[in-house]
Structure 1
């Protein structure tokens, strides 16, 4: 095995696959992409609705869980993270959203130079092949396919009418000029009905290049540092430890849990904590592992009178849907089953949406069923997601063993404002379901139930959207871990490129933002001038 490369990228997830493609296309001599998981060659990765069977599957997941939290009734939450080519982009729900433009303008105001919405919009365009075609807000020549969900069989029309009757707005494009309102869902699925993970969109085409190599089943255990310069990485593969050298840069793209963990294992992090674990301190960086942010959510459920997506899960219908998808790339299993997405403000004085609603025409525990067999009852579900939580958590080392899982404390619901936002989102859903035609389609609200039990319901049922960010935050202040070009402070030749660098979590599903970060980072790494910002 070759032991020296120009660039070593740790993590073949949403960001790592983008970097592997862009750095290898530039003519550099050699790029190595290291991935702890394996190939995404199971057919379920390609079928969009297959994520219901691959998400949190131990074969493709890191198996992380949060620390038990008294604020969540002592619960520990599962924290699914993709451990496979494409990372979480291979196992997520594929929803494509950017968030509000002010989210990124807020990054710039926090000291992240070059990351305002006007400056990053050209990178969103570069990465897309949008069904909308090319324009100010979208591109049509990028690696990543973005298509709409056909909501005609997913109760989209009655939900839309009830949303409007409740006094809420609509939007033709939540990633365009109007970033508030109800809209059909967009997903990273190509026109052939195949999931467009970064492994498929970016990595697979690039693997044809002789200057790119991917090393699967190898977990990075530390960054090799000499004279405050990153010169390579140590990996564990098949029980052996191997050192690999980088002539130019080492780039960490392990995500908001693994990137801070690897920095701390390498001696970059809070000095007191590292010393307690016997890890020699290279850079005292108190911000490493701090500022963990996540989107909390609760599910609301309603008993439906006579219909839901459950009808499509009858065994014979589901089998035909899989066959139709294989042959034509169409049908019930060829996309997401989201009826629509709504971005709303729970208070009129807010400048941007604080709640995201995701409408699902099915019960959360839906199962395949057989003709003439017992069928589950029909249920409609709504995800109530808080977009801008004040609470911040931490990622810390559990031990000095690099194969030990990190200690992840989400610290959710630590402020009254976070409770208030979620309560406001629940009230908005009730307002919508009180309108026709949804009012006539449901028999009763199943959960949360009575208003008196609302806070207990939130504590006992709060989950996360799997959007962790912020643990290697970028900025120019002393506590920032990386600068605005994503270079780790105090070390040369080392960058972090993934969701961990985001100063705040964008107000939407974050996969699009992660890919955008990697696209812009690839230009920074190569020393290319940034794409011209929009006026």
Structure 2
């Protein structure tokens, strides 16, 4: 049997960080297991390629949720990266942290050591920010953070409209003023390539003799001796193998895969495990529970002028943009499409923002065009209204004890009435902002949901008909100290020695932001926690 000091299961946004940081010590050996394959693919590397990667079945686990009880039985598509870098290799690269209150709330819920003051040093440590080093940002870290180049994305009209609508401004959504219309930031390196943690952390570490990466390796179960995790059974190339950990097994599979592996290994709600004939090793009722995800409703308007990103999708221009990116790492395909990242409070009495508006100068699904063969698409504006601090909680369960079978996932979106009312307010505020000058001069007929959908009852029905997710699920292995917690604040699985979970699944609540930055931060802090235990 192979033997390493540490086995890290999952090469996603957190797992790549953990493996890279642990392997900085030449005296320890680290094995990184990844069920997917290589991330060396043009559409992954090119920032605008995310419009393809997120839909590529070869790069995702292919999960579909169970019929949602509050969305008319609709099943939600749940893309999660099955590739080196995980979801950070297929997502939109958006970089934001959320509000300081998000992390202070974690600490108040029992996650000692995870307040904003505690996690800020790790955000700074991981960053190589375009802003340079200051109180809130780091310079020289592995992860390059760049501003979205918005010169062609109509940023200024949207920003000015938000300010004219009475909202405060901010120059840095991750700085002192975490509210307002902000310039979006993305994890793109100085060469114009996607900066996933596979690229930023693992690729520079591959020359280390004490780090081994095994791709196409599906973990089946954790191995135990005398109540301690001592290894992993996994499948690779059709062969089932075992590998041993001298110090720790560290799960970094993400919000669905980490609890699945715990459950497959007998750690979870005893009753559920017994139904599937799985021997119970630790009765932890919180495994697979407490899933929190950002609901999102997409609104659309016609543009009054042909000024949207559709102009850049004419075939000859697409070819020029791709060539410019390949040769120089610059141009309109070297960044994201977001024209403005608006974070606001729909109720001034709230302590922090409750809605995010993802303002885009094009509707999703638009493809390249070339007259007279393919006509020019309509010019439209799209706005994702995202509920930031949702109260509804979902769950997941195993369908069987077969490791190849994906779990049954119910997000329970819009279960809490507060979520519905907040989303209604968010839609109304989006309408008001898009009808405020100077954006108003560019905004034509409302297409979705349409101005005829106006009462609270009508808007609620529309929300339940169209709500999707922000792909920011967290919480299925929540950290804390109460009986429902799966891991303690040091990210150790309760009741089992030698086993941790270090990924987005440990977040007690979902931050008010795209969650990739928080997952990377958890990888950084989690690696330090592991090192502290072995020092």
What interval of TM-score do these two structures reach, taking the shorter chain for normalisation?
Answer: over 0.9
Q: Which residue of 1 aligns with 2:524?
A: 519
In structure 2, what is the equivalent of residue 274 of structure 1? 273
Assess if the C-alpha contact under 8 Å between 1:56 and 1:63 holds in 2: no
CA distance in 2, matches of 1:475, 1:275: 25
Pairwise mapping of residues 96-495 of structure 1 onto structure 2 (< 5 A)? 96-306=95-305, 307-372=307-372, 373-449=374-450, 450-452=453-455, 453-495=458-500
- SS in structure 2 of the partner of residue 71 of structure 1: coil
1:452-490 CA-to-partner distances (Å, cap 9, x unmatched) read 431121011000011111100001112100000000001
Contact 2:22 2:28 in 1 (8 A): no
Distance (whole Å) between structure 2 residues aligned to residue 36 and residue 107 of structure 1: 31
How many matched pairs? 529
Contact 1:6/1:28, CA 8 A, preserved across alignment: no
1:509 to 511, 514, 524: 514
* Number of the residue aligned with 1:15: 14
Per-residue deviation at 1:143?
A: 0.0
In the other structure, the counterpart of 1:72 is: 71
Does structure 1 retain, via aligned residues, the 8 Å contact 2:69–2:412?
no
**Deviation larger for 385-394 or 26-35:** 26-35
Asked whether the 8 Å contact 1:20–1:206 carries over to 2, the reply is no
SS at match of 2:396: strand
Q: CA deviation at 1:415?
A: 1.2
- Give distance in 1, aligned partners of 2:499 and 2:368: 48
Superimposed CA distance per residue, residues 70-128 of structure 1 (whole angstroms, 9 cap, x where no aligned partner): 42122101100000000011110001000000100000000111100001100000000
Deviation at 1:528, TM superposition (A): 7.4
Task: Please list the CA deviations of residues 480-504 of structure 1 after superposition, one character each: whole Å capped at 9, or x if unmatched.
Answer: 0000000000100000000000011
> For residues 239 and 447 of structure 2, what CA distance do their matches in structure 1 show?
53
CA shift at 1:395, angstroms?
Answer: 1.2
Matches of 1:18 and 1:442, distance apart in 2: 43
2:133 and 2:511 map into 1 onto residues whose CA distance is 24
Matched, 1:86 2:89: no
* Post-superposition offset of 1:433: 1.2
Unpaired segments ≥5 residues, structure 1: 531-535
Query: Post-superposition shift, 1:160?
Result: 1.2
Deviation at 1:191, TM superposition (A): 1.9
User: Structure 1: how far apart are the matches of 2:34 and 2:19?
Assistant: 12
Q: Compute the displacement of 1:135 (Å).
A: 0.8
Q: Shift in Å at residue 529 of structure 1?
A: 11
In the alignment, the residues of structure 2 paired with residue 334 and residue 447 of structure 1 have an alpha-carbon distance, to the nearest angstrom, of 29
In the alignment, the residues of structure 2 paired with residue 318 and residue 250 of structure 1 have an alpha-carbon distance, to the nearest angstrom, of 46
SS in 2 for 1:451: coil
Cα distance in 1 for residues equivalent to 2:320 and 2:435: 36
In 1, Cα distance between equivalents of 2:264 and 2:245: 18
Q: Which runs of 4+ in 1 moved over 3 A?
A: none
Contact 2:63 2:406 in 1 (8 A): yes
Out of 48-57 and 195-204, give the one that drifted further. Answer: 48-57
| Distance across 2 between alignment mates of 1:443 and 1:396 | 45
Q: Aligned-pair distance for 1:432?
A: 0.5
Distance 2:292 2:81 in 1: 18
SS in 2 for 1:59: helix
2:58 aligned counterpart, secondary structure:
coil
> For residues 366 and 196 of structure 1, what CA distance do their matches in structure 2 show?
25
1:200 partner SS: helix
How many angstroms apart in 2 are the aligned matches of 1:376 and 1:61?
29
Structure 2 unaligned segments of length 5 or more: list them.
none
Q: CA deviation at 1:237?
A: 1.5
Q: Distance in 1 between the 2:378 and 2:533 partners?
A: 57
The partner residue of 1:500 within 482, 495, 505 is 505
Instruction: Assess if the C-alpha contact under 8 Å between 1:341 and 1:356 holds in 2.
Output: yes
Where 1:49 maps in the other structure, the secondary structure is: helix
RMSD: 1.2
Q: Quick one: distance in 2 between partners of 1:330 and 1:360?
A: 20
Which moved further from structure 2: 491-500 or 435-444?
435-444
CA drift of 1:371 comes to 3.5
**Distance in 1 of aligned mates of 2:81 and 2:488:** 27
Cα deviation, residue 27, structure 1: 2.1
- Name 1:533's counterpart in structure 2: none
Distance 2:309 2:534 in 1: 49
Per-residue Cα deviation, 1:182-234 (whole angstroms, up to 9, x for no partner): 11100001122111000100010011100000010010010001111000000
| In 2: Cα distance, 1:506 partner to 1:495 partner | 22
Distance in 2, matches of 1:112 and 1:363, equals: 40
